[in-house]
Amino acid sequence: MRNQIKTVLLLGVLTGFFLFIGEMLGGKHGLIIALVLTAMMNFGAYWFSDKIVLSRYHAQPITREEAPELYDVVDELSRNAGLPMPKIYIIPEDSPNAFATGRNPKHAAVAVTTGLLKLLDMREIRGVLSHELSHVKHRDTLISAVAATIAGAIMVLVRIAQFSAFFGFGGDDDDGGGIIGLLFFMIVGPIAALIIQMAISRSREYYADEEGAKISSDPLALAGALSKLDAYSKRIPMARATETTSHMFIVNPFSGKSLSRLFSTHPPIEERIKRLQEMARI
């Protein structure tokens, strides 16, 4: 329920944000255009955000016949978690990583990269999948995908604002206030997108680790997987990754080349591993 409330709030923020920027960029006409675009964005964010993200990473669905061992592990863990069997996707990407998406457990999907399948043994893969199924069980996947859509929309608005400022477009005021507003938005927009991601990501990763370890009954498997994923993702950053979707992955796909530790969408791997090791000792 809490994540559903967060989703509604995020969509509400998106609506207000678009209307404000629409009026600032185009006055009353811009407000009307923004209202129409926002209605379309809200509809798409709820119903199609998962498909947009999967398409962004060229994820390919697989069947039991194509990957029987992987399919059987997901099936077993889904039953452990009391979940319907999600769809399984493989991302053609050398960087090892994984994420889950879908608006609810009945319409969920888990995606793993080919790099992850090559790097980890099946026990470690099982640990990763249990983490992702925890996100599905607690309905993190909808808000995560919606946040990615909102962050992407904000970045599009930033580019529009940059274009408008460059060519001298603005709202209805003639005293330079419109340009000042655009310049302010160009600075604040990316920060707002980042804050949205941080607000939903860091604490939920700890919780998904804990719940995932319970689903698999093997916290050390996930701890070992996280250690390998962290090390190799730094060596092989994800080629198609974007900062607007980085919060969805089990480890930061930009590790070693992107945001500072302060603004990371993921908690420190060392702390996550430490907590899992403590669970194993209990």
Query: What count of other Cβ atoms lies within 10 Å of the Cβ of residue 98?
Result: 24
CA distance 254 to 257: 6
Question: Residue-wise over 27-57: b if at least 16 C-beta within 10 A, else e?
Answer: eeebbeebeeebeebbeebbeebbebbbebb
Long-range contacts (CB closer than 8 Å, 24 or more residues apart) made by 24-33: 24/170, 24/171, 24/178, 24/181, 24/182, 24/185, 25/160, 25/161, 25/164, 25/169, 25/170, 25/171, 25/182, 26/171, 27/171, 27/172, 30/171
Q: Which of 132, 205, 211, 243 is catalytic?
A: 132
Q: Assess whether 132 carries a catalytic annotation.
A: yes
The catalytic residue positions are: 132
